[in-house]
């Protein structure tokens, strides 16, 4: 299994290239708010950014809260997303303890699926896709 990690966010300049790549390549949109990863300032204008994304909970509360099965637990943590089953109720958004699930104005839900497509678009190598055997055990 692979997980998206953000080990070097101290290098982040807030360009949102990762979010735009996710939106364009995965969701066929061009908006950083319609992405599985979102970049937020932790107070600064040019430094101090954080990446908000799914942390791949083992037994994800968002999947437990989903009434239609649009989100199902992924082996090892995180979720599998079936957009056609989503009724845009927002229960998954409320259930996520880390704000890793985002609901856009049109009701669509966006969650990081740990595909790693965003990694190559980060100009400062802030992101990594790491292989793991079990949650918490990163293979180098």
Instruction: Please compute the mean of the pLDDT values over residues 102-120 and round it to a whole number.
Output: 95
Closest of 56, 85, 84, 91 to residue 69, by C-alpha: 85
Q: Identify the band that residue 32 occupies on the pLDDT scale cut at 50, 70 and 90.
A: confident
Does residue 135 register a pLDDT over 80? no
What CATH number is attached to the domain comprising 27?
3.30.70.20
Domain assignment of residue 110, yes or no: yes
Domain assignment of residue 119, yes or no: yes
Domain assignment of residue 74, yes or no: yes
Task: Provide the whole-model pTM.
Answer: 0.86
Q: What is the DSSP string of 37-96?
A: -EEEESS-SSS-EEEE-----SS-HHHHH-SSSSEEEPTTSSEEE-GGG-----HHHHH-
Residue with tokens 């989503």: 86
Domain assignment of residue 136, yes or no: no
pLDDT for 1 equals 82
Q: Around 110, how many Cα atoms within 13 Å sit in the side-chain half-sphere?
A: 24
State how many domains the chain has.
1
Contacts 24+ apart (CB under 8 A), 86-89: none
User: What residue numbers bound the domain in which 105 lies?
Assistant: 2-131
Domain assignment of residue 140, yes or no: no
Q: Identify the band that residue 140 occupies on the pLDDT scale cut at 50, 70 and 90.
A: very low
Does residue 96 register a pLDDT over 70? yes
Domain assignment of residue 109, yes or no: yes
Domain assignment of residue 105, yes or no: yes
- What's the pLDDT tens digit per position in 44-94? 777 789 999 999 998 999 999 999 999 999 988 899 999 999 999 999 999
Domain assignment of residue 137, yes or no: no
pLDDT for 43 equals 78
């Amino acid at each position: 299994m692979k997980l998206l990690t953000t080990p070097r966010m101290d290098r982040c300049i807030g360009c949102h290239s990762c979010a735009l790549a996710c939106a364009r390549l995965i969701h066929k949109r061009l908006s950083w708010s319609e992405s599985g990863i979102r970049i937020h300032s932790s107070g600064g204008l040019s430094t101090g950014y954080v990446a908000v994304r799914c942390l791949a909970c083992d037994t994800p509360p968002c999947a437990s809260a989903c009434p239609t099965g649009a989100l199902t637990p992924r082996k090892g943590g995180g979720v599998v997303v079936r957009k056609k089953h989503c009724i845009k109720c927002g229960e998954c958004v409320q259930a996520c303890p880390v704000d890793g699930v985002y609901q856009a104005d049109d009701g669509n839900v966006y969650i990081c699926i740990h595909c790693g497509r965003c990694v190559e678009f980060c100009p400062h190598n802030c992101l990594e896709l790491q292989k793991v055997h079990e949650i918490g055990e990163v293979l180098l």
